[in-house]
A and B are shown apart, each in its own frame.
Chain A
Amino acid sequence: MRPPVAPPGWSRWLVPPAALSVHLSIGQAYAWSVFKPPLESALDLSGTQSALPFQLGIVMLGLSAAFGGTLVERNGPRWAMSVALVCFTSGFLLAAVGAETRQYWLIVFGYGFVGGIGLGIGYISPVSTLIKWFPDRPGMATGIAIMGFGGGALIASPWSARMLESFGADSSGIALAFLVHGLSYAVFMALGVVLVRVPGPEGAAEVSGASGVPGASGVSGTAERPGAAGAEAAGTSSAPAPGPQVSARQAVRTPQFWCLWVVLCMNVTAGIGILEKAAPMITDFFADTSAPVSASAAAGFVALLSAANMAGRIGWSSASDLVGRKNVYRLYLGAGALMYLLIALFGDESKPLFVVCALVVLSFYGGGFATVPAYLKDLFGTYQVGAIHGRLLTAWSLAGVLGPLIVNWVADRQEEAGKHGSDRYGVSLSIMIGLLVIGFVANELVRPVHPRHHVLARKEPADDATASPAR
């Protein structure tokens, strides 16, 4: 598919809403829990079984982002958004058939497998394009999109719950709800497919000029070869943009990629440590005090954490454009460890302190997700940043399994040992601090990529197949 090149006069401010239309939709995945109780009662499922579609969806997100990243770079954002639209909405339609015919495997296959491919391709679809449109503010640009993934659950959670109230929580009601979700998201995501554009020859030349790299335009040569420039902006280039440019294939062979992989994995695991146990945690911490926390107040706390997660995505990621990527990760990991330490030492003495520390940790969790594409761009350039980002998201897949496993396992062991209240979480909090320290060290080890990995220094037939005709 030919990447959609922006005509002259196209505004770059049309690209973030295109990205948001996809991310706000696929962010629905985090609202899957709304469907769990109705599915369990309608199809006689256990809690573990009803979580399967979501779990498979997250696994497929990581796998499709990792393996589909190069295809996304090759075919451009419109192709990727179209694939995401088709897979994500088809997943809902298959799940609707599964619910109506009471075939649970079809719900797992549809929502988890097919929809999960839509999640992965959709997640990385706008990243590369946004970075190319906003070379001056890549953190802010990707922060807007990735904030949408957090915002998707905020929209879907009440919307899906109201739909189930209206249609009924039996299998036919669930099927109808899945059907409406699929059709609505297809229409909503279509805006992204229609609007998304990659910078044209004129824009690509301006990107070269905006980089501030001496002799940049000479390196890229885009000004002299307009046709190539548009393709380059789509990631299908025959010539790299200025600055360090590393292919996805080569990036995974650098220590920088794996340091960032560890940073992301540790930051996400530590954030999940709070997210997974937020409601029981705040209840347990203040159970023996004069002001215990009720179930509805705990639900309010969880909602506030979601807001902090979302605000962190746009706020911290934008801040990284000013203070630098490495510094902002020092904050996420260093201050994050400090916040966990404060919760462990004084959390049960002050409710405001507990709440503020947890909110800060969750804002760092969101910020870590949103800032990483810009960090990748700084290290590896824009050449195949979407594909590199896709490969890095395997860290999220592992953290998504590791985080809940650690927290739940430790909490169960502590309960068996007869501990109660805040004592149940001491070991978990210590583990989270340790993970953040590991992430902090990994971030300190990040150095600029050696020039031998740059695309100009090497010839890579496999990755450069995207651009080989013009090379």
Chain B
Amino acid sequence: MTPPPPRPGDQASPPRRRPLIAGAWLWVGAPLAYGLYELVHKAKQLFTG
């Protein structure tokens, strides 16, 4: 059986890239989490308002 072909950047990230990946996702994830928190808070009003 032929293994699936590799894809760009698909190989395991070198250890020195992992903090960069984590930091980048945190950079965009933190404000998004804040927006989602506010959204859930507001959406609850549909059931309680």
Contacts and interface: CB of A to CB of B under 8 A. Distances in A.
A303 B9 contact: no
A423 to B, nearest CB: 23
5 contacts: A24-B32, A203-B8, A204-B8, A303-B45, A304-B46
B39 interface: yes
Interface stretch (A82-90, A93-101, A130-138, A382-390): A130-138
3 A-B pairs with the lowest CB-CB distances in the bound complex, closest first: A12-B9, A203-B8, A300-B46
Given A17-B28, A24-B28, A11 B35 contact: no
A158 interface: yes
A215 to B, nearest CB: 14
Instruction: Describe B's contact surface by its main secondary structure.
Output: helix
A300 B35 contact: no
Contacts of A203: 8-9
Interface residues of B, number: 32
A202 to B, nearest CB: 8
Contacts of A148: 28, 32
Given A154-B39, A206-B6, A298-B46, 4 more contacts: A17-B24, A297-B45, A300-B48, A306-B39
Contacts of B49: 294-297, 299-300
Contacts of A133: 8-9
Contacts of B27: 17, 21, 188, 191
SS of A interface (majority): helix
Contacts of B42: 299-300, 303
B1 interface: no
A6 interface: yes
Given A14-B17, A17-B28, A300 B7 contact: no
A52 interface: no
Given A151-B32, A154-B36, A210 B6 contact: yes
A212 B4 CA distance: 10
B46 A301 contact: yes
Contacts of A355: 46
B35 A154 contact: yes
A10 B36 CA distance: 30
Contact of B5 (A155, A204, A209, A306): A209
B45 A199 contact: no
Contacts of B31: 24, 155, 188
A127 interface: no
A210 B10 CA distance: 11
A14 to B, nearest CB: 6
A155 B38 CA distance: 8
A17 B22 CA distance: 10
A195 interface: yes
B17 A206 contact: no
Contacts of B35: 151, 154-158
